[in-house]
Amino acid sequence: MRKIDVKIIEDKIYEMASHAGLNLTPSCLAALKNAEKSESGGAAKFALSTILENADIAREKLMPVCQDTGMAVVIMEIGQQVYLDGKPLREAVNDGVRRAYRDGYFRKSVCDPITRQNTADNTPAVLHTEIVEGDKINITFLPKGFGSENMSKLYMLKPAQGVEGIISAIVDTVKTAGSRPCPPVYVGVGIGGSFDTCAFLAKKALYRDVGSHNGREDIAEIEREALRRINALGIGCQGFHGDVTALGVSCEWAHTHIAGLPVAVNIQCHCVRCEKETV
């Protein structure tokens, strides 16, 4: 058994949230630079250069890359040999988020769904915990903006629709979203599982580096084909028409029921902010 003080986790969440608000992931930045180079001209190229210039200003001036500093989505894989000592884990995560959003001058974007009253400190965070082997904790932190979250969809396909149905669902979601979710987007896809786990798989797919592929060749092929068809749509950066509508498609899968084929498509804007740490 290994004892871990939750204060360490709170401080780690604080660091991760503070860094995430100001920085794109290296894989996202590289994909944006490639997109800017490959775009032939016009308003889409102008928008891509503006986005790259923005990333520099954010770092220099300590201003969030996007004013939508998001809902804090945290996934923790907790080794089953770990004993968590101190205040409740959820409280520690929320305290880390609260401090980071206050000290970083980040926007507080969390509210009651009915009254729309803002909680004024960006809590509660969305916390997923999984028990895994070992005595460590893997933490991933992803601030999720809602311009793109709003364009996400869940499909309960028929098994007969198969791979073609999956690819169509992914492409249709991006097509319907059009200019609204801040393209070029990063597309997280969940394939299989149940109604609830499928959506979670789609979110987890967004934790992967932009441009990475699933280890299963047939799934990686779905990623490549979906990306090819999305970029053939010609929506382009900000909907200004161009060759790059998506920076990448990431799929994660799980076993499902013989009667179903759930597919969840979670849209992430071009502002991919994601931190990974192990305690």
Partner 1 sequence: MKKLTLPLKNGEAAELCAGENVLLSGVILTARDCAHKRLTELIQKGEKLPFELKNAIIYYAGPCPARPGLASGSCGPTTSARMDSFAPILLDLGLGGMIGKGEMSDEVRAAICKNGAVYFAAVGGAGALYGNAIKKSECIAFPDLLSEAVYRLEIENFPAVVAYDCRGGSIY
Interacting residue ranges for partner 1, rule: CB under 8 A:
43, 46-47, 50-51, 53-55, 57-58, 61-69, 105-109, 116, 118, 120, 147, 150, 178-182, 238-241, 269-271
Nearer to partner 1, 92 or 247 (CB): 247
The distance of closest approach from Cβ of residue 67 to partner 1 in the complex, given in angstroms and rounded to an integer, is 4
Measure the CA–CA gap between 277 and 262, rounded to whole angstroms: 30
Q: Cβ closer to partner 1: 57 or 232?
A: 57
CB < 8 Å & 24+ apart, contacts of 34-41:
35/184, 35/237, 35/244, 35/247, 38/243, 38/244, 39/236, 39/237, 39/242, 39/243, 39/244, 40/242, 40/243
| Cβ–Cβ under 8 Å, residues 47 and 244 | no
Nearest distance in Å: CB 68, partner 1: 7
- Is the CB of 159 or the CB of 234 nearer to partner 1? 234
Of the pair 93, 177, the CB lying nearest partner 1 is at 177
Nearest-approach distance from CB 148 to partner 1, in angstroms? 9
What's the number of CA atoms in the CB half-sphere (13 Å) around residue 236? 18
Nearer to partner 1, 81 or 119 (CB): 119
Looking at beta carbons only, is 68 or 95 nearer to partner 1?
68
Which amino acid, one-letter code, is at 139? I
CB of 99 to partner 1, least distance (A): 14
Of the candidates 185, 270, 182, the one whose C-alpha atom is nearest the C-alpha of residue 227 is 185
**With the CA atoms of 53, 59, 62 and 64 taken in that order, what torsion angle do they form, in degrees rounded to the nearest 10?**
60
Question: Rounded to the nearest whole angstrom, what is the least distance from the CB of residue 249 to partner 1 in the complex?
Answer: 19
- For the CB of residue 127, give the shortest distance to partner 1 in the complex, in Å: 23
Q: Which amino acid is at 84?
A: L
> Cα separation of 64 and 54, whole Å?
10
Amino acid at 60: E
Q: Report how far residue 188's alpha carbon sits from residue 200's, in angstroms, rounded to the nearest whole number.
A: 10
Q: How far is the CB of 141 from partner 1 (least distance, A)?
A: 18
Task: Select 139 or 206, whichever has its Cβ closest to partner 1.
Answer: 206
Asked, as a colleague might, if the bond just before 181 is cis with ω within 30 of 0, I would say no
